[in-house]
Chain A
Amino acid sequence: MIWRALFGRLCISVVTLFVVSVLIFIGTNLLPGDVAQILLGQMATPDSLAALQAKLGMDQAAHVRYFMWLRDVATGDLGFSKAGLGAGNATPIVQIIEPRIFNTLQLTSMVAVIAIPVALFLGLLAAMHPGTRLDRTITFSTLNLISVPDFLVATFLVLVFAVYLGWLPSIAYLRGDETGWGLIRALAMPTLTLMIIVSAQIIRMTRATVLNVMSSPYVEMAILKGVPRRRIILRHALLNAIGPIVNVIALNLAWLVGGVVIVEQIFAYPGLAKLMIDAVLVRDLPLVQACAMIFCASYVVLIFIADMASILSNPRLRYPK
């Protein structure tokens, strides 16, 4: 049963990736100008434009270019960055992307490792003491943080910690040889920004799910039996709430993938998301496609984990009639 669901998901994921690649291709093509025009900019002449377009294969019809790309990708070849080729740096996309993926993973995993335990703890804390001042403080601040867009949080943090206090660098500028403290310092601001936004959601959902379970008949039974509240939550309620919570965590991590786009841009962090933005600006389609595929794939995988978590944790979904 599980295997069938798994296989079904896998097929849907491949289709999703394909559809996304078509959408990205069409979207980027709709933007004014192609890579040759952008590279030459204000100084383009009909001659030089035609020459560069031919050199970069931009003189072929859009659908032809798409299928050529698809064929290459199917054989595992991401190709060359067109902007790079135009500027005389023939670097394979794989080489460009590799360090960027590492940087983005470094950032997101740091966020996940810190944000998830903290958020779970605060969520549970709020659920254990519903209606108290503690609960209301947590709820009030998380609701506020959910409502504030991430770029505003980022700007605010920079103002406080970098410009006024001067404790942290305002940009996450990596030299590439940072270790330990230096790395933590460089990553502190973007991590903090993402953490605030991701954990706010998880805190809310953890609290809601646990409280939801707390109002179910078996918990009522446990209360009547005289089981201490702490034990009810940790032993009975939390275990039953784990499915939905994992679901929320996975969804939020997927959201994190989108959040890094803004945060990397604001902190000039050399990650995959910033690479994608730069690539869109010069209409470097193969590079945009490659980045988008990676983002999409990670999103699909996380959503898949979220689904699996809810299926596995719920016997009714596990054994459908």
Chain B
Amino acid sequence: MNALDQLVKTLSKLPGIGSKSARRVAHHLLKADSYWVAELASQIAKLQESVKNCEICGNYTEESPCSICSDYSRDRKLICVVEQPEDIGTIELTGDFNGLYHVLGGVISPIDGMGPEELSIGRLLQRLKSGGVEELIIATNPTVEGETTALYIVNLLKDSGLRISQLASGLPAGGDLEYADRLTISRSLKGRRTLLKPKESLKSIGSPEPEKPLF
């Protein structure tokens, strides 16, 4: 096997790149400016060495603690728990969340050999123990495993006095009911919010309906 074939094989392991695209990329690299190719190679080589996980939240960062954890203008009473570091970027893009994060590094799934001890739940508990946090927002994916992980964390913290919430799942913004899939609509129905209550509780309009606690 020559160097070109070898590169094609290596490239085709990348997500979203099949053997055809890999071949295209490899041929492109072969013809490209050699300085640029060397620069690309060195950036790739340095990546894993320079980018690490933040010692506090688990986010990708070059300096630990990361820029979010060391930003004291952020609301340190709020922690949003996510599955993967890339989820932070997604939430940050909204600009609506100004608290801190905690990356679990996956979800509980014994089938895939992922128990709670494989996740950074212990470190999350430590962070909470050191005080100052009032609310935890659990932003795991709405899958069975994401739900298991959320419930597991809630169970551990049932006596902590913390407020724990979960991201709502439902209709997409700007979406028409007509175009939403059934599952989304059925989830939105289950997670509906009250707009008007019967008369005796008029004063509580605006605050969410008190729900039975999970544990």
Q: Is B truly associated with A?
A: no
Q: Which residues of B contact A (CB under 8 A)?
A: none
Q: Which residues of A contact B (CB under 8 A)?
A: none
